[in-house]
């Protein structure tokens, strides 16, 4: 038993290094999927049954149509997130550059009816996680050099129209996950870089529930719940160049089977779509996401002691509010076009004390603009843009003894830009 104690001492450090990544507003779950909700800054997310993307946002909406519809969407994300040292970081190096540059996304959605009161839907989209890729010699490389946590959901669903006012929906969320992490810990007593690497794919499963309620024409309420999805990433931990001081420990951990558990949090979203006139529609959102569940990251090593550790990063649940409006022009130069705009605000899942270089997140304000037009009978195009302001994100991350690396500074004026578009077809 005694000879395995160094493994246990190193485990908390490994958990801190190998927990979850990304840079995003609130938590690390995106509202942007390239669909018309870009224009309203997510407002109306769960209360747009006429949009084919309801197969993703609220499965209860798929039955509210007469024809089969398919929507294909794409978007590009560009991040403006760059670290500035405040003078107390103790690892020499550069500022890491902009770790989040262009990041593409694709989605596909379909909805139709099996019978007069039974609908079906299928959605394929990714709205969980992102990735960060810092310069190799940056000041925070002891904590992270590059990291990716990506989730792509495949959601088949069924809906039931109970009566003219109410429908219910149920979907299976089969999520493919990819986790990759690399850092450069200190190489023992030598002030050089060592190497730590982990990556794996996994499948996780959850459920989506939805309700659409339309008490009168022009007023639509929607509420959707998505359950937790659990990932168990499993790979052989790669460790190199740690120097003679840690050679006994590294020798036992290198190529050791390592399992990292990460949870995609449960969410609840309530939305309203209210027609003000035949041409103008107002949208609202209230949302909750269970990031306190995500905070518990677990790691297990396949060693003689079957050692496992769970570290709570201290994240807390987030809330979001959004309001948006869409207007359709029936005359003039914009005849046939629908223009939309919206704003949303989301709380942050982390305090300054729990911000880490692999999870750069903050409270946010999002501004959205969108436009849509029927190109020909049965074919509609939508485009949209979101500007997400994250503000200044302070970080003061300290590693464990004996070397105690420190990264202290600010990600100044951080922001995300989303540009997307989609085309919907009726059959």
pLDDT in tens, 205-228: 999 999 999 999 999 999 999 999
Q: With 0-12 CB in 10 A as exposed, 13-18 as middle and 19+ as buried, what is 227?
A: middle
Q: Which domain holds residue 18?
A: 2-426
pLDDT score recorded for residue 83:
96
pLDDT score recorded for residue 5:
38
pLDDT score recorded for residue 295:
58
Cβ atoms 406, 90 nearer than 8 A = yes
Instruction: Return phi, psi of residue 197, to 5°.
Output: -140, 140
DSSP letters along 56-79, please? Answer: HH-GGGGGS-SS-EEEEEEEEEEE
Q: With 0-12 CB in 10 A as exposed, 13-18 as middle and 19+ as buried, what is 418?
A: buried
Give the residue, 243 or 106, on which the prediction is more confident.
106
- The alpha carbon dihedral of 195, 231, 32, 292 has a sign of negative
Which tokens belong to 69? Answer: 């519809």
**Which pLDDT band, with edges at 50, 70 and 90, does 15 fall under?**
very low
**Which pLDDT band, with edges at 50, 70 and 90, does 311 fall under?**
low
User: Which of 392, 370, 396, 393 minimizes the C-alpha distance to 382?
Assistant: 370
Peptide bond just before 270 cis, omega within 30 deg: no
Give the residue, 389 or 187, on which the prediction is more confident.
389
For the stretch 151-207, pLDDT in tens is 999 999 999 999 999 999 999 999 999 999 899 988 877 888 988 888 999 999 999
Give the residue, 307 or 378, on which the prediction is more confident.
378
For 247, the enclosing helix (H) or strand (E) is helix 247-253
Top-ranked range on mean pLDDT: pick from 214-228, 312-326, 397-411: 214-228
Pairing of strands 22-25, 359-362: parallel
Average pLDDT estimate for 387-411: 91
Which tokens belong to 233? Answer: 């990433």
pLDDT at 297 > cutoff 70: no
Average pLDDT estimate for 262-283: 95
For the stretch 353-382, pLDDT in tens is 778 888 888 999 999 999 999 999 999 999
pLDDT at 22 > cutoff 70: no
pLDDT score recorded for residue 310:
60
DSSP letters along 337-382, please? Answer: EEEEEEEEEE--S--GGG-BTTEEEE-EEEEEEEEEEEEETTEEEE
pLDDT at 84 > cutoff 90: yes
CA distance 217 to 194: 64
Domain count, the chain: 1
CA distance 75 to 34: 5
Q: Output the domain CATH number for residue 305.
A: 2.40.160.60
Give the residue, 389 or 237, on which the prediction is more confident.
389
Q: Report the percent of the chain where pLDDT is more than 90.
A: 64
pLDDT score recorded for residue 237:
82
> Rounded to an integer, what is the distance from CA 18 to the centroid of its chain?
18
| Angle ∠(129,130,136) on CA atoms, nearest 5 | 135
pLDDT score recorded for residue 6:
41
Cβ count within 10 A of residue 66? 8
Q: Which residue has the tokens 């120097």?
A: 243
Average pLDDT estimate for 335-350: 94
SS3 294: helix
pLDDT at 81 > cutoff 50: yes
């Amino acid at each position: 038993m005694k000879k395995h104690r160094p493994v246990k001492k190193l485990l908390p450090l490994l958990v801190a290094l190998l927990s979850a990544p990304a840079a995003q507003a609130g938590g690390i779950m995106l509202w942007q999927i390239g669909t018309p909700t870009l224009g309203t800054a997510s407002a109306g997310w769960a209360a747009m049954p006429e949009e084919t993307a309801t197969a993703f946002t609220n499965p209860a909406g798929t039955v509210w149509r007469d024809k089969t519809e398919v929507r294909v969407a794409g978007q590009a994300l560009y991040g403006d997130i760059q670290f500035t040292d405040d003078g107390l970081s103790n690892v020499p190096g550069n500022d890491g550059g902009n770790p989040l540059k262009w990041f593409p996304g694709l989605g596909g959605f379909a909805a139709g009816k099996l019978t007069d009161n039974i609908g079906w839907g299928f959605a394929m989209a990714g709205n969980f996680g992102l990735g960060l890729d810092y310069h190799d010699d940056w000041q925070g490389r002891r904590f992270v050099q590059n990291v990716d946590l990506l989730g792509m959901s495949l959601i088949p669903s069924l809906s039931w129209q109970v009566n003219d006012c109410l429908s219910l929906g149920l979907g299976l969320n089969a999520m493919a996950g990819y986790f990759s992490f690399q850092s450069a810990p200190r190489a023992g007593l030598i002030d050089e870089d060592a190497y730590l690497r982990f990556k794996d794919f996994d499948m996780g499963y959850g459920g989506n529930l939805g309700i659409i309620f339309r008490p009168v024409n022009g007023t639509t309420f929607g509420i959707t719940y998505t359950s937790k999805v659990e990932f168990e990433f499993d790979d052989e931990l790669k460790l190199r160049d740690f120097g003679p001081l840690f050679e006994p420990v590294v020798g036992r951990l290198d190529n050791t089977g390592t399992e990292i558990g990460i949870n995609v949090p449960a969410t609840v979203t309530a939305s309203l779509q209210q027609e003000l006139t035949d041409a103008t529609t107002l949208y609202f959102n209230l949302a909750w996401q269970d990031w306190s569940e995500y905070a518990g990251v677990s790691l297990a090593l396949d060693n003689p002691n079957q050692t496992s550790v769970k570290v709570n990063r201290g994240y807390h649940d987030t809330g979001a509010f959004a309001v948006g409006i869409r207007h359709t022009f029936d005359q003039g130069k914009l005849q046939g076009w629908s223009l939309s705009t919206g704003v949303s605000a989301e709380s942050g899942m982390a305090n300054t004390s729990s911000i880490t270089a692999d999870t750069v997140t903050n409270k946010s304000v999002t501004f959205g603009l969108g436009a849509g037009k029927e190109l020909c009978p049965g074919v509609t195009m939508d485009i949209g843009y979101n500007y997400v302001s994250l503000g200044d994100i302070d970080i003061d991350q300290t590693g464990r003894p004996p070397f105690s690396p420190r990264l202290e500074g600010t990600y100044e004026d951080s922001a995300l830009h989303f540009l997307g578009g989609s085309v919907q077809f009726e059959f």
